[in-house]
Amino acid sequence: MIVQGNIVDIENKKIYKGEVEVENGKIKAIREANHAVENYILPGFVDAHIHIESSMLVPSEFAKIAVVHGTVATVSDPHEIANVLGVKGVEFMIENGKKVPLKFNFGAPSCVPATSFESAGAIIDSDDIKKMMENPDIKYLAEMMNYPGVIYQDEEVLKKIAWAKHYNKPVDGHAPGVRGEDLDKYIAAGIYTDHECFTYEEALEKLQKGMKVIIREGSAAKNFEALIDLLPEHYENMMFCSDDKHPDDLLVGHLNELCERAVAKEIDLFKVLKAACINPVKHYNLDVGLLQEGDDADFIVTEDLKNFKVLQTYINGELVADKGQSFVEHVDFEVLNNFDTDKKNIADFEFHSASDKIRVIEALDGELVTNEIEVDSLIKDGNLISNTESDVLKMTVVNRYKNAEPSIAFIKNFGLKEGAIASSVGHDSHNIIAVGVSDEAICKAVNLLIENKGGVCAVSNTEEKIVSLPVAGIMSDKPAEEIGKAYAELDAMAKQMGSKLRAPYMTLSFMALLVIPSLKLSDKGLFDGNTFQFTSLEVK
């Protein structure tokens, strides 16, 4: 097979008329050739950090859509399913991913449970990490979110890192806002990447101290604009990732969009493509071709180098996508689930108080971090209730692994004027998380998820809508196109109910993510991410 076009040689920073000869899945030759083809041939895009589960799709269905956008590989942290199903969940992701051409590169989740302050469905200890590191299908130790454990030299945390080093596999970082001496300690442990930088200054310090910074632009956390100006000088040590990509967004685009935006800022093309195509392969030592003779034939054909419209995607020499059509086929798989909690009563969501003021989570659009604010209480019959006028709404996290009393908090900026929204995608432990204007609406939304053993839903005054997620309560067993469309309709319904957030369900899913400051809610209570301890809803 011979593919003609303008060859984009990223490493040597040149573009020339040529052709790529493919034989037995490998690139046999790349040579100059005269022809009339104006398309461009370049290495495929590699997402340097993503949780496939957050697309609400199993790997095989994720692949079906991602290849259309020129993605040939991912560095995938199966942390989400691991917190639900443990090592069994990781094995599910690996085996399902092997059934399709896209090159998934899974890591061993380092933080299961993510903290001791929440209820998860499984535990992965250092002995489990050792066994996983022995597996050639495990490429790295996934993001070490327990940065306090690293900084203060928790024995179990250091054992996990030590096993990764023993097997010569990279250790991924996760250290939002960590600077100065604490950062020095974090790096000294052997952690050399971070995708959590949310300011230019933080990312610059990490780069200057030898870390590789991954620019994240996902469905909820969007750090591209804050960090992209670092790329021209630091392109050798930067990559792109989505971290979390909801299905409706994935249908529209993937890393191709980031390349388009970066080039539009007049950043050197080869520097942009180095971050998007080359750096992840070299850092993680991936079996992914880089458009060189002898490499696996993993490459893409684009219409231009401005909009990066992908015309064709090849993986191991196989044409897997052509002009928007994916040739990745559906595969059958076993549905795993472990919802084990009974339906709730309205009274379960009451919080009796006489406090004049309460501590409130302030959600920030496009950020995983939150603020802590204090507001006046609204109390009816002794029960703290939502205040739609000031947009301070009641929120709950419900343990989905056993029967337990729901935890209660209040949150600002969701904007709902009626009903409630809920999700069993609730990072990191994936308990049920809901926000609503009344206890009745919250109860109805929570029970809808329990009935369906997982999903995302909206309950208004006149309508109920749910996208069921039966695979571990976080992924669908349906095709990507179907889920993307259904999720988009659900997102629109939440906005019709008043939400002004760009991605209300994605933002909701991170409001139980305790390892990101400042104030979050777990199934065990309101949590201060700065002091790493529980705090009181009531301001005494």
Tens digits of residue pLDDT in 179-225:
999 999 999 999 999 999 999 999 999 999 999 999 999 987 899 99
User: SS3 letters for 17-36?
Assistant: EEEEEEECCEEEEEEECCCC
Tens digits of residue pLDDT in 56-65:
999 999 999 9
Confidence of residue 367 (pLDDT cuts 50, 70, 90): confident
Spatial CA neighbour of 255 closest among 501, 50, 15, 54: 50
CA dist., res. 411 & res. 391, Å (int): 8
Query: Three-class SS of residue 143?
Result: strand
Cα dist from 218 to 241, 264, 471, 506, whole Å: 8, 19, 22, 9
Spatial CA neighbour of 445 closest among 408, 396, 491: 396
Query: Three-class SS of residue 6?
Result: strand
pLDDT exceeds cutoff 90 at 113:
yes
Q: Which domains does the chain have, with CATH numbers?
A: 45-286 (3.20.20.140), 346-534 (no CATH)
Q: Taking residues 25-31, report their average pLDDT.
A: 98
| Mean per-residue pLDDT over the chain, rounded | 96
Tens digits of residue pLDDT in 34-53:
999 999 999 999 999 999 99
Q: 458 has which bridge partners?
A: 421, 465
Beta pairing, strands 370-376 & 392-398: unpaired
Spatial CA neighbour of 207 closest among 196, 193, 217, 221: 193
Q: Taking residues 442-449, report their average pLDDT.
A: 98
Tens digits of residue pLDDT in 258-310:
999 999 999 999 999 999 999 999 999 999 999 999 999 999 999 999 999 99
CA dist., res. 503 & res. 492, Å (int): 10
Residue 349, pLDDT score: 98
CA dist., res. 489 & res. 477, Å (int): 18
Q: 214 has which bridge partners?
A: 239
Spatial CA neighbour of 530 closest among 269, 38, 177: 177
Residue 329 corresponds to which tokens in the numbers above?
């086929």
User: SS3 letters for 521-535?
Assistant: EECCEEEECCCCEEC
Percent of the chain clearing pLDDT 90 (strictly above): 93
Query: Three-class SS of residue 345?
Result: coil
Q: Taking residues 6-21, report their average pLDDT.
A: 98
With a threshold of 0.75, does the pTM exceed it? yes
Tens digits of residue pLDDT in 485-518:
999 999 999 999 999 999 899 899 999 999 888 9
Q: What strand order describes the sheet that includes 519-522? A: 519-522, 525-528, 533-534
End-to-end Cα distance, the chain = 73
